[in-house]
Amino acid sequence: MDSGLLVQSLVLTLVTWLMFFDKYCTQLFTYRPVVIGPIVGLIMGNFEIGLQVGCIVELMFLGQVFVGTALPPEETFSTIIATAFACIANSTEVALATALPLAVIAQMGMYFRNMVLCVWTGHRLEAAVERHDLKGITMNCLVLPNVFNLVLFALPVFLAVYFGADLVQGIINAIPQSIITGLAVGGNMIGAVGLSLLMKSINFSKMWYFFLIGFFFASYLGIGNIGITMLAVICVAAAFYADRDREEQAALS
């Protein structure tokens, strides 16, 4: 069992590193919970739990828009470990209990990376510019930041999964059922915070009636997310044509 876990932990470490490369370079969005969940589930041999955790954590961090340079809780590192733990314990509640604290820990790692390590490489890059040293620029913009990702995020994933698996199983067995049920209740509510963050990032106070259109169609009529997206397209079209009419009349008069 242990050699299997060793291989799984090593593969997870590599996947983590690649996802952080994607997060900071190619940005193909493989680093979002809804994608990570099934991938980690495949690696850990529990695809269904992986898909479930991916959806649960994605909803927790759906509204992850923080304005300016403030960092949101780090969802990638958090989802990888939370999904791995959930697959080991065969219960999604493990992910509910661990995802948010892990995201806050990784957020601190991210602050350390951006405030200390990459400021250091930034200064080294400026020195390389003065020497017209292209290798130095590459080293300090591309190579070292990815080494930081390896040390700060990928290696801790290995340590947590390889050495933490037994511990997690033990802790889960010790937690009373009432708290585990409660975690699922809280997990269903936590999306409200993310959605209110999204509302803050747009001009909500002047567009609250569009919000209510979406809400009432979903609540009273039971229309799902795909239908709501169609409704959004219709609302945008209505606003677009209203604007165009107004502009034409303004041009005439």
Neighbours of 158 (CB within 10 A): 17
Span 90-119, contacts to another protein by CB under 8 A: 100, 104, 107, 114-115, 118-119
Among 45, 211, 246, 248, binds another protein (CB under 8 A): 211
Q: Which of 4-12, 79-87, 162-170, 209-217 is the region at the interface with another protein (rule: CB under 8 A)?
A: 209-217
Q: Does 246 bind another protein (CB under 8 A)?
A: no
- CB 174, min distance to another protein, A: 16
Q: Are 47 and 38 in contact (CB under 8 A)?
A: yes
d(CA 103, CA 111): 12
d(CA 146, CA 134): 18
Q: Does 25 bind another protein (CB under 8 A)?
A: yes
- CB 16, min distance to another protein, A: 16
Q: Tell me, by CB under 8 A, how many residues bind another protein.
A: 103
Among 3, 173, 219, 253, binds another protein (CB under 8 A): 219
Neighbours of 208 (CB within 10 A): 11
d(CA 119, CA 144): 12
d(CA 18, CA 32): 13
Closest CA to 214 of 235, 245, 237, 195: 235
Q: Does 175 bind another protein (CB under 8 A)?
A: no
Among 147, 166, 179, 245, binds another protein (CB under 8 A): 179
Span 47-86, contacts to another protein by CB under 8 A: 48, 51-52, 54-55, 58-60, 62-67, 69, 72-73
Closest CA to 10 of 44, 48, 51: 44
Span 119-138, contacts to another protein by CB under 8 A: 119, 121-122, 125-126, 129-130, 132, 134, 137-138
Burial of residue 252, with CB atoms counted within 10 A of its CB: 0-12 exposed, 13-18 middle, 19 or more buried: exposed
